[in-house]
A and B are shown apart, each in its own frame.
Chain A
Amino acid sequence: MNLAIKDIRHNLGRFILTVLGIGMLLMIVMGMAGIYRGLLEDATLLINRIDADLWIVQKDTRGPFAEVSRVPKSLVYRVEAVPGIQSSREFVYHTIQRQHNGKPIRMSVLGLSWPVDKGEWLPLISGRALRQNHFEIVADKTLGLQLGERIPLGKETYTVVGITSGMVSSGGDGMAFTTIQDSQAIQFDSSGESVRLERAARDSRGQENELFLSQPALTEQLARPTAELPGVTPPPLSAVIAKVAPGADPLQVEKIISSWGDVSVFSRHGQEELLVQGMVDKAKRQLGMFRVLLTIIAAIIMALILYTLTLDKIHSIALLKLIGAQNHVILGLILQQALLLGGLGYGIAWAVGQKLFPHFPRRVVLTNDDLIQLAVIVCVISVLSSLLGIWKAMRVNPNDALMG
């Protein structure tokens, strides 16, 4: 006869409520781990998807994900000329926030190296990759845009031609993909007034310059669009990414590029490390602290509940001792209830989490390792929390059964 089950059936309502409470608490603990894993996965998702061997960024910066990095477009060709490089391409990445349909929409825009890269590697759930050089955009579903929807960005309007799933930035913003040119147009968009003011300023500076005074025809050149001025460099890239040729030594290639005075080079692993250590580490520690606190709180609540359940059974325990029940019977009664409480709470945490976590604003990723780790923790706190009740039960005198 299982006394633990019999007692639970006798106090079923209270036990169910307790299990639900513990379950909710454990669900939060589980969710904390899931949020951290989600952060980690989001942070490294793009790096993994892009699958570049080398990231060449502005000298002494930590790359486009950690801080602003600007490199000239010509760097693509310099990198490509390095022995051991299979291919190199532009990387433009920036985050914008605009109003759309009366609501703020925040997105991380990634430029695709058209026509080499049309975004076929993106995890599309509907629509297609880019088919033209301009005015098409592929958006992640978290942005809430619909296929075929038109969204004005800068001076142009872009049509959503594809929807991806799970493509979010390390900051949790949904990603949008355009060609490099469109991406830069969005990034460096200026209003008509600021363009006019810039031209006027240029003209004004020209009026004071001896060269322009001696050759007035040049002054007219200053009024042309910025992109057409030979003395003005094209918009910079965030980084250049490169693939190392099969058989080439990536370290050797990295060493060559590192020797250049204007850039820093990171391997894919290095870029990942930077992201994890720089952006995710604090969040990891924060979430870790919460997990520890919540686990302790869960253990304390479980201990109190088990202690109360034991107090309710003191007379029965005394009676069991009176009729000769061995200590292991009493111990088993309390320990089994503790483990059932923890086990069922864990099950509820998992089941409710499966339904609830997908609706969280940020991705919650439950890994088997984390689930197993939490299961072990729940087992441990179940045993620990039952100690108080067991201690009380072991002190019960069979004589107490006669007290009525």
Chain B
Amino acid sequence: MSDELAIETISISKIYGSGNTEVVAMRDASVQVRRGEVIALLGPSGSGKSTFLTAVGLINPPTSGQVRIGGTLVMDGPRAAVNLRSFRRRHIGYVFQKSNLIPFLSAIENVQIAMELNGMTSRAARTRAAELLDELGVGDRLDHSTAMLSGGQQQRVAVARALANHPSVILADEPTAALDSHRGRQVMELFRNVAREHGAGVIVVTHDQRTLEVFDAIYEMEDGVIHQQKRKVESATVPERG
């Protein structure tokens, strides 16, 4: 693990509306994730986890504060300091609770497209996509349409896509929710390996107690505020989703 920061948020806040209708979704959230580190973000529904994740994922800009990825300032308040779409393509991998696959592409094509968008040739992208899917246990479903995959298989395809471009940041929202314990652990270990091998910072929103031991740190969020931080997890009590 490096001391270099993969992700750093400095007092980011997100406020919707104004005046009487003002809603503070996230307030002064400051988190640091080092390269090679995997952290968990816990909290009840509506606590602001998704707002935080989408702010770090550069798809929902914060109202104030700064987001730095790999030492580069990417968001300064609501203002983008880089080309966000290009930055997302190159540096960020996403895995969401509900599988987010493109229905008109097969399993392998869903992974392949992420690499092709990043400039990789079709052949090379297909080879790597096949390797990733095989590694995640869906190597026998490469050309299946997404509708023919189970929830768990779809989730593994989404994980493979997130890993495809060797991102420096991986953001995952309940990535193991649809997986059995073995696969869930496998995915988390995969995240940890990617984090270690490629120096990526990984933020996982999870409730899966079976996998908590893989995290290097746990952040808890409530009412838009990150108020608890644990490092070196041994056992943790995970609050139930409200």
Which residues of A come within 8 Å of B, CB atoms? Answer: 1, 3, 6-7, 9-11, 313, 316, 319-326, 329, 397-399, 401-402, 404
Residue interface bits B14-37, CB-to-A below 8 A is 1, else 0:
000000000000000000000000
**In this complex, what residue of A is CB-closest to B145?**
A10
Given A399-B59, A404-B98; A324-B89 close (CB under 8 Å): yes
Query: Quick one: which of A7, A397, A401 contacts B104, CB cutoff 8 A?
Result: A7
Establish whether residues B117 and A326, one from each chain, have CB atoms under 8 Å apart when the complex forms.
yes
> Chain A residues with Cβ under 8 A from B104's Cβ?
3, 6-7, 9-11, 313, 316
Query: Quick one: which of A9, A325, A398, A404 contacts B117, CB cutoff 8 A?
Result: A325
B2 at interface by CB-CB < 8 Å: no
> Chain A residues with Cβ under 8 A from B145's Cβ?
10
> Chain B residues with Cβ under 8 A from A399's Cβ?
54, 59-60
**In this complex, what residue of A is CB-closest to B85?**
A324
Establish whether residues A402 and B102, one from each chain, have CB atoms under 8 Å apart when the complex forms.
no
Query: Quick one: which of A1, A9, A404 contacts B116, CB cutoff 8 A?
Result: A1
B159 at interface by CB-CB < 8 Å: no
Interface of A, secondary structure class, is: helix
Establish whether residues A324 and B105, one from each chain, have CB atoms under 8 Å apart when the complex forms.
no
B133 at interface by CB-CB < 8 Å: no
Which residues of B come within 8 Å of A, CB atoms? Answer: 50, 54, 59-60, 85-86, 88-90, 94, 96, 98, 100-105, 109, 112-114, 116-118, 122, 145, 161, 173
The complex places the Cα of A320 from the Cα of B59 at a distance, in Å, of: 12
Establish whether residues B118 and A402, one from each chain, have CB atoms under 8 Å apart when the complex forms.
no
> Chain A residues with Cβ under 8 A from B161's Cβ?
323
Establish whether residues B59 and A398, one from each chain, have CB atoms under 8 Å apart when the complex forms.
yes
Given A1-B112, A10-B104; A323-B59 close (CB under 8 Å): no
Closest 3 CB pairs of A and B: A324-B89, A10-B104, A7-B104
Establish whether residues B54 and A323, one from each chain, have CB atoms under 8 Å apart when the complex forms.
no
Establish whether residues A401 and B85, one from each chain, have CB atoms under 8 Å apart when the complex forms.
no
Establish whether residues B122 and A322, one from each chain, have CB atoms under 8 Å apart when the complex forms.
no
7 contacts between A and B (CB under 8 A): A1-B109, A9-B104, A316-B103, A323-B88, A398-B85, A401-B96, A402-B54
The complex places the Cα of A11 from the Cα of B50 at a distance, in Å, of: 33
> Chain A residues with Cβ under 8 A from B88's Cβ?
322-324, 398
> Chain A residues with Cβ under 8 A from B112's Cβ?
1
Sample of 4 further A-B pairs with CB below 8 A, known A1-B112, A399-B60: A7-B104, A320-B113, A322-B94, A324-B89
> Chain B residues with Cβ under 8 A from A325's Cβ?
85, 89, 117
**In this complex, what residue of A is CB-closest to B125?**
A1
The complex places the Cα of A401 from the Cα of B98 at a distance, in Å, of: 10
> Chain B residues with Cβ under 8 A from A10's Cβ?
103-104, 145
> Chain B residues with Cβ under 8 A from A9's Cβ?
104
Most buried by B among A313, A320, A322, A397: A322
The complex places the Cα of A397 from the Cα of B61 at a distance, in Å, of: 12
- Within the complex, the shortest CB–CB distance from A19 to chain B, in Å, comes to 17
Establish whether residues A401 and B100, one from each chain, have CB atoms under 8 Å apart when the complex forms.
yes
The complex places the Cα of A285 from the Cα of B104 at a distance, in Å, of: 46
Establish whether residues A319 and B100, one from each chain, have CB atoms under 8 Å apart when the complex forms.
yes
Most buried by B among A313, A329, A398, A402: A402
Establish whether residues A326 and B102, one from each chain, have CB atoms under 8 Å apart when the complex forms.
no
Given A398-B59, A399-B60; A326-B54 close (CB under 8 Å): no
**In this complex, what residue of A is CB-closest to B122?**
A1
The complex places the Cα of A324 from the Cα of B98 at a distance, in Å, of: 19
The complex places the Cα of A259 from the Cα of B15 at a distance, in Å, of: 95
Establish whether residues B96 and A326, one from each chain, have CB atoms under 8 Å apart when the complex forms.
no
The complex places the Cα of A319 from the Cα of B110 at a distance, in Å, of: 11
> Chain A residues with Cβ under 8 A from B89's Cβ?
323-325
> Chain A residues with Cβ under 8 A from B90's Cβ?
324
> Chain A residues with Cβ under 8 A from B122's Cβ?
1
> Chain A residues with Cβ under 8 A from B116's Cβ?
1
**In this complex, what residue of A is CB-closest to B161?**
A323
